[in-house]
Structure 1
């Protein structure tokens, strides 16, 4: 919806004869409406649902797809507030982040995506697996964002902010996609630059970059954000001479930079980009790291860091606030239902 290109594993037509334990429909407009109008997909989902399969949809997809096909009749469901009135009378609309009713799971919108996904994990594997996943991701279910700011400075930005997000094989896809999405909603000019021509993220998502890293390295940006994810940050990004040279020049010029999760410890710290008394946060909290700060998102001068995948939306909104001001960040947060 906001220009992030991912490569599908297969076409809908290729899935017609396959069987699945779960079918999930994402939201977004016109995407959800296009899904609802796809006869081939309707046939797949209808057969799956009538056979007792688990179905799920989030944001605009519950009314524009599942309800459109009559698969929510007599079911309690939620959706994005702007689309709740699209539910037919046969659907009991509920104002909640996530609703599980029988073999149907629905989610409210972007800010509820993590809770929605974990509800699906619960349905498939049970609560034990949810806890196993959620804790290292630092998942927080409450809406709203905040960050700890030390040594406040005005981030340099003239006009539309230009933001570089370098990625590599093994980068954490949520940290990439959420950050890009939030910044582009704020009208930032975001360049996703890859260290390899084909980027396969940590959990198999194939991301199409806007540029190769060596081409982006010669440009100037207002903000550089390094997402985490292993082994991408350690074996590729941290060793990219052109990226590290750009980051060091960028930081020395007093421009903003940041990292999420493992990138703080694997990219910034080893290259002297967290120096002196600067404070940061990372996914691996260690008492013996002098720079370590326990907050989920920390801004220290021109440096912004956050703890793990579950903090990505908070991190992205924090850097929007630093670049464009609190009102711009709040406007994006409201659109995401993250208030």
Structure 2
């Protein structure tokens, strides 16, 4: 039996400055520890606007929405297109709550722009959004952007003048004409928070929670996310009983989703595997293609499960979320497909609630080591490896929660395409330092 364990963690440093702050934000899994960002409180209302457009980066939008809603923020997802549904990058479809004209007269405590191209350019070109963010800046309320959006939108609007900011590396030169650039993963200067890319979005979002609600709420949100304490460091997995994961042309992967699915987990899995050039089928376990995820993000599947089960897959992988996992466990078609996958020794996996609520009760963890969401590990019959963030046992891969989703997805990339490909992808996303 071969075993790969986590490398030692580097010490965590926390830096705070009164007006401008660049912080490797801590991610602390227990209530005995505190998330600290040196924040300034906004109003208690926590009213937030997240605009979306065709071509936005779905991870940056969905993670931000999810985490802010976990903190109790009233988040409006507004489309700058003529319709509510947008076609995000990597073939993902997100449905907004409103159109941007409906939000023009609303006062927000925070406006946060996701990146992605051409999505950030579409945000920049939206006159209503520009006027709304300009008013936000003039009236001294928080605004934020990540990835391409600090340079493409905020910088172009002149809203970073005299400020320090960061963005995706390939946009830093453009940003330098409108702001003083810094290479922090997340940077705050006054009322503006900027960040670098998909791999920094969770840190960025927790920082926004801190600004709106304070350190205690940020700490409360941190724990259940199961975030990494060592942002930017290399990632790894525990692997037992190694076997080669094979495919013919490109990996055929099924990702089921259902009402109550954890949207961050689903989005990261789908996005990252498609970045790696796997063919990912997103199938709805329900009556409609559109699902309402656990934090009320509306996602649209590619096809119903009834159609998806007619195919064969190199991997079936289940996101978590309590309601979604229960829907998976109650789907005879999906459970039978998973059983066939196990019997034919083809890879399958699950994250968060799904190992405990789907795989375990249906005998799909028999003879296997696995992990799950910390509060549900007591449901696993074998908990000997449950403290690990990602566990691979032969053809089974499991993981813990939203904050382990990138590691989980990158471990799948590593199993199919090799370590070099997985690390390159992690660096491109800024999950690992370039």
Q: Answer whether TM exceeds 0.5 for this pair.
A: yes
Q: Counterpart in 1 of 2:412? A: 319
Q: Counterpart in 1 of 2:222? A: 134
Q: Counterpart in 2 of 1:70? A: 158
Q: Counterpart in 2 of 1:237? A: 328
- Which of 20, 43, 48 aligns to 2:131? It is 43
How many residues are paired up? 337
Q: Counterpart in 1 of 2:342? A: 251
2:360, 2:380 within 8 Å by CA — same for their partners in 1? no
**TM-score, normalised via structure 1 length:** 0.97
Matched, 1:150 2:240: yes
2:356, 2:380 within 8 Å by CA — same for their partners in 1? no
Q: Counterpart in 1 of 2:295? A: 203
Alignment of 1:224-303 (within 5 A): 224-234=316-326, 236-276=327-367, 278-284=368-374, 286=377, 289-292=380-383, 293=385, 294-303=387-396
The CA deviation string for residues 248-286 of structure 1, in whole angstroms up to 9 with x for no partner, is 00111111000010000000010000012x100111364
For residues 135 and 96 of structure 1, the distance between their equivalents in structure 2, rounded to whole angstroms, comes to: 23
1:156, 1:256 within 8 Å by CA — same for their partners in 2? no
Report the CA distance between 1:89 and its aligned residue.
Answer: 3.7
**TM-score, normalised via structure 2 length:** 0.76
Report the CA distance between 1:287 and its aligned residue.
Answer: 6.0
- Give me the CA root mean square deviation: 1.2
Q: Sort the Cα spacing of 1:84 and 1:13 in 2 relative to 1 into closer, same or farther, 3 A.
A: same
1:165, 1:191 within 8 Å by CA — same for their partners in 2? yes
SS in 1 for 2:170: coil
Unaligned 5+ segments in structure 2 are 1-88
Q: Runs of at least 4 residues of structure 1 off by over 6 A?
A: none
The CA deviation string for residues 189-229 of structure 1, in whole angstroms up to 9 with x for no partner, is 00110112130000000000001011111210100000000
Report the CA distance between 1:288 and its aligned residue.
Answer: 7.6
- Which of 165, 186, 189 aligns to 2:255? It is 165
SS in 2 for 1:271: coil
For residues 291 and 38 of structure 1, the distance between their equivalents in structure 2, rounded to whole angstroms, comes to: 53
SS in 1 for 2:112: strand
For residues 6 and 116 of structure 1, the distance between their equivalents in structure 2, rounded to whole angstroms, comes to: 21
The CA deviation string for residues 99-120 of structure 1, in whole angstroms up to 9 with x for no partner, is 1111100011111000000000
The CA deviation string for residues 36-70 of structure 1, in whole angstroms up to 9 with x for no partner, is 12212101111111111110000110010001000
Alignment of 1:107-126 (within 5 A): 107-126=195-214
- Which of 73, 93, 102 aligns to 1:14? It is 102
The CA deviation string for residues 150-181 of structure 1, in whole angstroms up to 9 with x for no partner, is 00001131121010001110000000000000
For residues 242 and 269 of structure 2, the distance between their equivalents in structure 1, rounded to whole angstroms, comes to: 22
